[in-house]
Structure 1
Amino acid sequence: MALWDELTGQAEAIATMRAATADDAALAHSWLITGPPGSGRSTLAYAFAAALLSREGGDPVTDGQVLARTHPDLGVLATEGVQILIEPVRRLVAASAFSPSVGRYRVMVIEDADRMTERTSNVLLKALEEPPPRTVWILCAPSEADLLPTIRSRVRTVRLRVPSVADVAGLIERRDGVSRPEAERAARESQSHVGMAHRLATSEEARRRRARTLQLALGVRSASGAVLAAAALLEVAGADAKAITTERDEEERAATLRSLGVDPGGTVPPALRGQLKALEDDQKRRATRSLRDGLDRILVDLLSLYRDILLLQLGVDSEPVNLAIYGELEAAARSSAPEQTLATRDAIAAARERIAGNVAPALALEAVLVAAVRRP
């Protein structure tokens, strides 16, 4: 089945969920798929949904509808903002009460369920406590701890692991048509994050962004240099986020104006401006999340950099994540002590928490790079 083939290194989880689709009596009504970013939580959720919705033996038409999120018995909630708002959850809960129209089940998928507030989670809890007989819920989150205990007690959890570099490289090579060495480098530098591995393997811009991130960190020699490097990293993250969102924002605005009957460049009637304002608010929320995600990718890349430096300092025989700059890693390892490298990694972890808590990104990045100052 094609959708299962989009997963790699998750044989145990796939076996569990395929077995559940084959036995209605053993099928739980609520599932939670957990795993680190890039492990394939959403991919597994939709592969499972397609198997539940299709007839025995699989159905390519159903697979296509699930991929396009257009199947009449599939409900999807995926936020592009920082939080999942309560009203979309209420609408999804209401839709879950309907009987299946063409499939065996009605399947409701919530991606990033960890982005629900407690109040929003309680709306979902009521649906999980008394689910309709032919409705299956599939939630995705990094870990069980990210959800309320009352939610966790009502779901069956399937845990994904970090796939190996070889597994991810094989998937990228097969799916994206890149050479094996390129696929292996992308898989290694993404630390087995399938989505980022795809991007690094297929986008020169993404590779340049990552290389610049590492060079900025390695080049910090003073507190003033740390401040300048932090500003440059924030610019890198902003450019990356803008590249992802700008084109889509323009397409959405143009499509909305067409649907409202407004010509390009024309004046929007006052009675219709509310709809355009709602779109702009959604786009702002997406831009905020995209920037935060970009900053987090930068910090994860920096964690890999100082991980490599620390292992060299401790004499651990392990292949570096950043093998392409091995010489610079050796120089950085000689210019500081392991204690300082550990302190830098702690500063990066703290910065990730601060940015998630809405601290000014520039201040968080400055704190990281001040801790990363190395003497030549």
Structure 2
Amino acid sequence: MALWDELTGQADAIAIVEAAASHDESSAMTHSWLITGPPGSGRSNLAYAFAAALLGGDEATQRQVAARTHPDLGVLSTDRVIISIDEVRQLVAASQFSPSVGRFRVMVIEDADRMAERTSNVLLKALEEPPPRTVWILCAPSEADLIPTIRSRVRSVRLRVPDVDEVAALLVRRDGVDPDLAANAARQAQSHIGMAHRLATNAEARERRARTLETALGIHRVSDAVFAAATLLELAKADAEAITTERDAEERDSALRSLGVEPGGTVPANLRAQIKNLEDDQKRRATRSLRDGIDRILVDLLSLYRDILLVQLGVDSEPVNRDIIDRVREAAALAGPERTLATMDAIAVARRRIDSNVAPALALEAMLVSATRTTATRTPERG
């Protein structure tokens, strides 16, 4: 397998880290890196490819890094809303060991923007005085998501949003997806690599997305909006459960095996606390997964109203939702662009509210009621 195969459209970023890993004299090799870029741009993919290059770069090393089993690799990845201070402390402690088989010890933190300031300060101390052969690689959407003192101690590598054609080509090359399906998935995912992969390989995910857009297009009255909010929340829950259920079961089975409990057997009383901790972690991950599912729905709705707006403005641009362009045109004829912009603003407000822990059901309902007022079907007045 080629080291950089999981990336697409990031030649400039690859050149920077590849030069650093190869000790090219023109590269300023540092011991603290920050990889930034929009969701789906491949931040973690670049981080692990960089880690594999630092650790040796051969196929055996790549496989170990992919499995997160390399002895000189430390990883902090969370599906929860926030990274805990204890998790960072454990990783910082592990970073102090000398590498056992490679040139470096590499510590990767995905979603470093999920650290509170107190937690960030624990990491800061490790970045200020890292062991000579330890390399830190952080990932975050932007530099602004980290505290200034950490930003001043890392070298940043910025990723761009890949083109739809580049993402489609990756799906065809890496996953063997049919070219037409790959192109459609990449366009609907708006170049988000992970979501494009899911849409291209999961028929249920495609169906849930189609139902999301159909639900929004069917809103004409306040009562429709209330019903639609409940429908969208159920779709988000189904999407989140599809992602987490199988993984939760595998984790539980693995934990039981490691504790010596046979499948279907009773967990001894002295081991129940460990299983309870696992279940608590899974519940926290489910909360994050639901939030992510709702946000995916809101992003899909933004793409719908973006297409409607472009039709209203007469802009000749490739629609995201080309497969329902006739429905888009029908919706565009029902209101002016200022009303569509107001709807898009309402969606943006809902995203901020949910991110600030407002109950998703309330945020969705308020958003869709607002959308009703701005994009409702015109009906003749009764005489």
TM-score category, normalised to shorter length: over 0.9
* Counterpart residue number, 2:288: 289
Greater Cα shift, 17-26 or 303-312: 17-26
Instruction: Give 1:262 shift.
Output: 3.0
Corresponding position: 1:20 with 2:20: yes
* Counterpart residue number, 1:82: 81
8 Å Cα contact 2:32/2:135 also seen in 1: yes
What residue identity is the alignment partner of 2:4?
A: W
Give the whole-Å Cα distance in 1 for the aligned partners of 2:257 and 2:58.
35
| CA distances 1:144-183 after superposition (whole Å, capped 9, x unpaired) | 1110011100000000000000100110111121222111
Give the whole-Å Cα distance in 2 for the aligned partners of 1:285 and 1:197.
25
Corresponding position: 1:335 with 2:334: yes
* Counterpart residue number, 1:105: 104
Greater Cα shift, 15-24 or 136-145: 15-24
Corresponding position: 1:218 with 2:217: yes
Give the whole-Å Cα distance in 2 for the aligned partners of 1:251 and 1:172.
26
8 Å Cα contact 1:313/1:337 also seen in 2: yes
Instruction: Give 1:3 shift.
Output: 2.9
Tell me the matched-pair count.
373
Give the whole-Å Cα distance in 2 for the aligned partners of 1:24 and 1:311.
47
8 Å Cα contact 1:303/1:348 also seen in 2: yes
8 Å Cα contact 2:3/2:53 also seen in 1: no
Corresponding position: 1:133 with 2:132: yes
Give the whole-Å Cα distance in 2 for the aligned partners of 1:343 and 1:270.
57
Corresponding position: 1:7 with 2:7: yes
- The two structures have a TM-score, normalised by structure 2, of 0.95
Q: Secondary structure at 2:316's aligned position in 1?
A: coil
What residue identity is the alignment partner of 1:31?
A: W
* Counterpart residue number, 1:160: 159
8 Å Cα contact 1:166/1:184 also seen in 2: yes
Give the whole-Å Cα distance in 1 for the aligned partners of 2:203 and 2:137.
35
Q: Secondary structure at 2:4's aligned position in 1?
A: helix
Give the whole-Å Cα distance in 1 for the aligned partners of 2:195 and 2:264.
37
Give the whole-Å Cα distance in 2 for the aligned partners of 1:297 and 1:251.
25
Instruction: Give 1:267 shift.
Output: 3.2
8 Å Cα contact 1:39/1:193 also seen in 2: yes
Structural mapping, 1:198-277, within 5 Å: 198-277=197-276
Give the whole-Å Cα distance in 1 for the aligned partners of 2:261 and 2:197.
38
Give the whole-Å Cα distance in 2 for the aligned partners of 1:254 and 1:192.
35
Give the whole-Å Cα distance in 2 for the aligned partners of 1:265 and 1:101.
39
What residue identity is the alignment partner of 1:335?
A: L
* Counterpart residue number, 1:319: 318
What residue ranges of structure 1 are gaps of 5+ in the alignment? none
Structural mapping, 1:303-314, within 5 Å: 303-314=302-313
Corresponding position: 1:170 with 2:169: yes
Structural mapping, 1:35-46, within 5 Å: 35-46=37-48
Q: Secondary structure at 1:318's aligned position in 2?
A: coil
What residue identity is the alignment partner of 1:48?
A: F
Instruction: Give 1:107 shift.
Output: 0.5
**Alignment identity in percent?**
74
Give the whole-Å Cα distance in 1 for the aligned partners of 2:223 and 2:339.
19
| CA distances 1:285-318 after superposition (whole Å, capped 9, x unpaired) | 1100110010000000001011111111111111
Greater Cα shift, 250-259 or 177-186: 250-259
| CA distances 1:67-122 after superposition (whole Å, capped 9, x unpaired) | 01111111000001111011111011011111111101110000000001111100
Give the whole-Å Cα distance in 1 for the aligned partners of 2:262 and 2:355.
40
Give the whole-Å Cα distance in 1 for the aligned partners of 2:65 and 2:200.
26
8 Å Cα contact 1:3/1:43 also seen in 2: no
Give the whole-Å Cα distance in 2 for the aligned partners of 1:8 and 1:16.
15
Instruction: Give 1:270 shift.
Output: 2.2
Give the whole-Å Cα distance in 1 for the aligned partners of 2:78 and 2:51.
19
Q: Secondary structure at 2:157's aligned position in 1?
A: strand
Q: CA RMSD in A?
A: 1.2
Q: Secondary structure at 1:2's aligned position in 2?
A: coil
8 Å Cα contact 1:217/1:372 also seen in 2: no
Instruction: Give 1:6 shift.
Output: 1.1
